[in-house]
Amino acid sequence: MQKVLIIRQGAIGDVVHTTNIYRSIKETYPNTQIDYLTKPLPAQLLENDSNLRRVIKLEDKKYSYLLKLANELRKEKYDLVINLQPSVRFKFLSFMIFPKKIVTYKKTFKLHAVENFFRTAKKALKEIENPNDLKLEIPQEIVEKVK
């Protein structure tokens, strides 16, 4: 895998529940470039993460916007899109990016979201192992402000 795009546009907690995925990918495939597409608010939590090449802010959910975004993202030539949004809109977006492979999240109520999300990624990347923890890289100056 050279380039991976992860899509999760949900709330902050939903996005935090996926941090083990890209960390595991980076541990297993250190040269992989990982991009993450999410809403502007949760994007702020990911912008300083050294495991991500870039964080793309989803500005709208209209099909016209998603098509324009797909045209831009298609230029990246992703090997894999991990679509953690089960909606038709994001299936459409994933398809229109034309990656080599797409895996899409399917919710099951028998598992916690963290495990459910991770199993979606593992469908395509069998070698990855779940680190069983969630982490955010927060710059020290922000930690100091919070203190």
Considering the chain, what percentage of its residues have pLDDT values greater than 90?
A: 84
Q: Can you give the pLDDT at residue 44? A: 92
**Res. 114: pLDDT tops 90:** yes
Q: Which of the four pLDDT bands, split at 50, 70 and 90, describes residue 24?
A: very high
Q: What is the pLDDT of residue 65?
A: 97
Contact residues for 106 (Cβ-Cβ < 8 A; gap 6+) = 86, 120
pTM for this prediction: 0.94
C-alpha to C-alpha distance for 101 and 87, rounded to whole angstroms: 18
Give the model's pLDDT for residue 1: 76
Binned at pLDDT 50, 70 and 90, residue 116 comes out as very high
pLDDT at position 72 is: 97
Sheet strands (E) in 1-147: 3-7, 33-38, 54-57, 80-83, 101-104
Cα separations in angstroms, 37 against 59, 73, 127, 145: 10, 10, 23, 27
58 Rama class: left (phi>0) / alpha (psi -120 to 50) / beta: beta
Mean pLDDT over 120-124 rounds to: 96
The pLDDT value given to residue 140: 87
DSSP code of residue 133: -
pLDDT-derived band at 123, boundaries 50, 70, 90: very high
Of 55, 53, 6, the C-alpha closest to 33 is 53
CA pair distance 116, 113, nearest whole angstrom? 5
Q: What was the pLDDT predicted at 130?
A: 94
